[in-house]
Amino acid sequence: MILVTGGLGFIGSHTVRALLDLGEDCVVVQRRARALPPVLAGASVRVEQADITDSEALLAVGRRHDITGIVHLAGSYPWPPVPEAPVQATRNALGGFLNIAEAAQEWGVRRLGIASTIGVYFGATNVRATNDGPLREDTPLSMTAAVSIPTFKKVGEMLGGFLADTTGLDIVNYRISGTWGPLGHLDPFFAAPALIHAAARGTTADLGHLLHPAYAEDGLDLTYVKDTGRAIALLQLAPTLNHRTYNIGSGQATTNARIGQAIRKTVPDAQVDLETGGGAPHLVLDIGRLMADTGYRPEYDTDRAAADYIAWLRAGHEN
């Protein structure tokens, strides 16, 4: 049985769905009680209400279930930042991570997967004003980060490496690309979800939530969440893995203009045109390791993803 933290959330619920489809049983740990999301409707999923910052409550879950692996997707960073209590927020984030590692060791799990992010590559030595090709997992990373998410993910990767070396745990980092799709939120880093929501409603997209202005030429390695969940499931279940860190992405850049083209195939009159003038480098992940060690291939291209997401929203789902 695989334990998934944050398993009723965005990426988590799709990961649980993929694990179930691959024949695994799952138990989900959630801090607050909530109903199963639509992607898990009717599924046989055990749900445990526990806060991962409470070590005793977390360890008690393992006494009720035979847990053989852990996928840790619950937020292990303070986002949005908590300026009024940064020390406590940091203590909670790192404490939850360490409690998960302690539980993995006590339960003798086969593998512990930890969610990281494409954001760790910002500021890397080969990410300059021009594109230098797909980013490999062995790319040297900067020791600094502009926002809290990549900061905590870098710290988590380093701590995970230390714990793997000293405890013998099989700890694997998932550097997840920009992910969009059902149950997702309006991401502050890329425009695709907002464009999709606006098209489904027949309105003009409000992009005021973005950290930076969005231009038609802006692009990023975007992955549909169903592919992201399946990639994580395959990494968790692979008999052997040859590396400690894996990129999870599409292996190509998807621009806002390309998203608009895909949307118009389903909603021809969608108002999705953005201003030109973008010059930011396109971050693209090399997914060769992932494909070689798991057989993963993306199943959703941009057209199929946009059509599926719009259909989901038009069916009455909120996200």
Residue 288 has pLDDT above 60, yes or no: yes
DSSP letters for 93-122: HHHHHHHHHHHHHHHT-SEEEEEEEGGGGT
Contact (CB, 8 A) for 118 and 178: yes
What would the two tokens of residue 73 be? 């997707």
Q: What is the mean pLDDT of the chain?
A: 92
pLDDT tens digits, residue range 122-144? Answer: 876 555 434 567 999 999 999 88
pLDDT tens digits, residue range 27-74? Answer: 999 988 788 999 998 899 999 999 999 999 999 999 999 999 999 999
17-26, 33-42, 209-218: which is most confident: 17-26
Q: What's the CATH code, domain 2-181+223-251+284-299?
A: 3.40.50.720
Q: Range with the lowest mean pLDDT among 79-83, 117-121, 217-221, 314-318?
A: 79-83
Predicted pLDDT at 317: 83
- Alpha-carbon span 50 to 33, nearest angstrom: 9
Average pLDDT over residues 282-287: 93
Q: Output helix, strand, coil percentages for the chain, rounded to the nearest 5.
A: 40, 15, 45
Please, which residues have CB within 8 angstroms of residue 191's CB and are 6 or more apart in sequence? 205, 207, 210, 214, 218, 256, 259, 274
Average pLDDT over residues 16-20: 98
Residue 80 has pLDDT above 90, yes or no: no
Predicted pLDDT at 18: 98
Predicted pLDDT at 76: 62
Note the pTM of the prediction, 2 decimals.
0.94
Residue 156 has pLDDT above 50, yes or no: yes
